[in-house]
Structure 1
Amino acid sequence: MSAPAGAAGFVLSGFGDEIDADPQVQLAVLAALGATAIEVRSAWGVNIVELADERVAELAHLIAGAGFAVSAVASPIGKVDLRAPQADELARLDRALAAAQALGSRFVRVFSFQHDGAEASAVRAEVVERMGTLAERAAAAGLILLLENELGVYGDTPAHVHDVLAGVASPALRFAWDAGNFVRAGARPFDDAYALLRPYLSYLQVKDAVPEQGSVPAGAGHGQLRETVRALVDDGFAGFASLEPHLATAGRFGGFTGPRNFGVAARAFAGIVTECGGQMQ
């Protein structure tokens, strides 16, 4: 399943492992909140690129049995130092692509490499080359990579994200908007990024933040989510909106929110969509 073509609106999804390690609990909570899709980063406490094939098949069975779609496989690909062997990251990408195919998702979330100790300008060409190689691999598998902006990798600011997307210039590399991460990078998400990155935007990660404080429910931070959602509604956006609230803890490779606070996050986002004249699909 994928987001409905031609129908404007947001298909509610969420990072299941921010709710609980058990996929059955993840699906039950998401269903209670009105979601029809799940974003898979880990299951049973194991990251998707390390999950055994039989466990991936078991997960696919559980998700299908709940009547859910998989909005994306949230892989950690590209959240490694640029000096790491490329072959290792390509092998992990192959695992993520295989998982996406098994789960019936066309999207795999990726990042644009850490470059500790090196100026961004000095690594730009290598980042674009490596991301292009990842995109070629995804295209060959008939899948699409979603580049997520993230502090600590090349694609942290709106300009750097645009560098990667425009430099690779592949339909197999699109953009997953994360307002909270833009706030952490010192950007004003809507003012600084929307016009620049809207041509590439295919997916919405729902996260908000306050500088020096951390993540907060959608609309309670500096992420300009109301402006962004209103513009997407006006643009006729049709796609997934995936809750990644980080309301309890946040770390380098993920965060946790818990069932109760996940409900707080879902209701906050739904309120913004209604306020902005949008629809939940």
Structure 2
Amino acid sequence: MRADRIRLSGIGDEAAPGIDRQIAAVTRLGWDSVELRSVDGTALADLDDAAFKAVSGRLAAAGLGVSCVDSRIGNWARTVRSPFEDDLAELDRLAERCAALGTRFVRIMSYPNDGLSQADWEYEVLGRMEQLAARAERAGLVLVHENCAGWAASDPARMLRLVEAGGPALRLLFDVGNGIAYGYEAHELLPYIAPYVEHVHIKDGTGDTETQFYSLPGDGRCRVADSLRYLFDRGYRGTVSIEPHLNIRPHEGWSDPSGDYVDQFVAYGRRLEALVGALGAADTAGVAT
């Protein structure tokens, strides 16, 4: 097994709302990229042109790339009945911004149901995915579907249906820790979906669908090391990105007013480096060169 070409990254707004502190967090870790979701509480697609130009300029000045951008397409706040035009517009906006940032990965989900029959829910989701993927392919993007909210949230057969419907512009994002909140064991997905995983999120913890308690990677029950080992053994060479959920969860509107979020983010990243290093990346500690 060789894991030394793995690129480590992190969702910046889990370290701080502002871009300067997000940059500080990944820079302290010595990593070469950040994953972007929001800046100062505003989703990347909703930043005005001046704000986005400032963000991209600060990233360039810091020498940081962008591993992925996290959209709201199909997420927990947009059901299968939500206007599809909103998602198409967000994808078009992000296509322009991804080109400026030098990334091609856009995180999506697959639309929670809102009263449709199972058959109608499936039909609508797959139809939307075909259109989104076609538009992404024309823009040179790859949509990565996260095992989180929506039709294909936790069912590997449904995830593979999405990949089939979307073609080469739709692949999977495997989040090690999402099973806690959604009531399944994420590690058990891997034998079915590993060949299609293009991006990985790391969080860990304990709890159930009612209450979750998040921890440093390796301290919870999400089998972080086992999952990484499984992926590395099967040739995964993409990005592993931290989503600590310890102090800030911007998508939930929650933050802990105490403590230094950047320090916690860096501690989380150091723990991940140790886990990845133990799996075969001793010479680079998991940072792509």
**Aligned residue number for residue 183 of structure 2:** 186
Matches within 5 A, 1:53-72: 53-72=49-68
Question: Residues 180-221 of structure 1, C-alpha deviation per residue, up to 9 Å, x if partnerless?
Answer: 11232222222x211111111011111123123332221122
* Structure 1 residue 82 displacement after superposition: 0.8
Residue aligned with 1:238, SS: coil
- Decide which of 107, 116, 138 is 2:114's aligned counterpart: 116
Superposition deviation, residue 169 in structure 1: 4.4
Q: 1:135 to 1:235 in 2, by over 3 A?
A: same
Q: 1:217 maps to what in 2? A: 216
1:6-36 C-alpha deviation (Å, 9 max, x unpaired): 9853211111111112211111121111221
Match of 1:180, SS state, is: coil
Count matched residues: 274
Which residue does the alignment assign to 1:176? 173
Change beyond 3 A, Cα 1:160–1:217: farther
- Measure the CA separation in 2 of the matches of 1:255 and 1:70: 24
Distance in 2, matches of 1:95 and 1:75, equals: 10
How far apart in 1 are the matches of 2:120 and 2:55?
42
**Do residues 228 (structure 1) and 227 (structure 2) align?**
yes
Counterpart Cα distance in 2 of 1:250 and 1:14: 13
Distance in 2 separating the partners of 1:256 and 1:164: 36
Deviation string 1:107-131 (CA, Å, 9 cap, x unpaired) is: 1111111213445454112111111
Q: Give the distance between the partners of 2:220 and 2:203, measured in 1 at CA.
A: 9
Q: Which residue, out of 79, 82, 88, partners 2:80?
A: 82
Deviations 1:155-198 (A, max 9, x none): 221335524434414110111110111232222222x2111111
Summarize the Cα distance change of 1:118–1:142 in structure 2 as closer, same or farther, 3 Å threshold.
same
Helix, strand or coil at the partner of 1:204: strand
Give the match for residue 3 of structure 1: none
Are the structure 2 counterparts of residues 19 and 251 from structure 1 closer, same or farther at C-alpha, using a change threshold of 3 Å?
closer
Q: Which runs of 5+ in 2 are unaligned?
A: none
Structure 2-normalised TM-score? 0.87
Q: What residue in structure 2 maps to residue 42 of structure 1?
A: 38
- What percent of counterpart residues are identical? 32
Counterpart-to-counterpart distance in 2, 1:161 and 1:54: 40
Q: Given residue 155 of structure 1, which amino acid in structure 2 is its aligned partner?
A: A
Provide Cα deviations, 1:222-279, integer angstroms capped at 9, x if missing partner: 2211111112222232111111111124465576582121122112211211222235
Q: Which has the higher contact order (CA 8 A, sep 6+)?
A: 2
Cross-structure match for 1:259: 262
Q: Which residue of 2 aligns with 1:98?
A: 96
Conserved? CA contact 1:107–1:145, under 8 Å: yes
Q: TM-score, normalised by structure 1?
A: 0.89
Native 8 Å contact 2:79 2:114 kept in 1: yes
Q: Give ranges in structure 1 of 5+ residues lacking alignment.
A: 1-5
Per mean C-alpha deviation after superposition, the further-off stretch among 230-239 and 244-253 is 244-253
Residue in structure 2 matching 1:29, options 25, 30, 44: 25
RMSD: 2.2
Distance in 2 of aligned mates of 1:205 and 1:254: 20
Partner AA of 1:270 in structure 2 = E
Aligned-partner Cα distance in 2 for 1:11–1:133: 30
Deviations 1:56-84, CA, capped at 9 Å, x for gaps: 12211111111111001111111201111
Corresponding position of 1:136: 134
CA distance in 2, matches of 1:146, 1:201: 8
8 A Cα contact 1:162 1:196, kept in partner: no
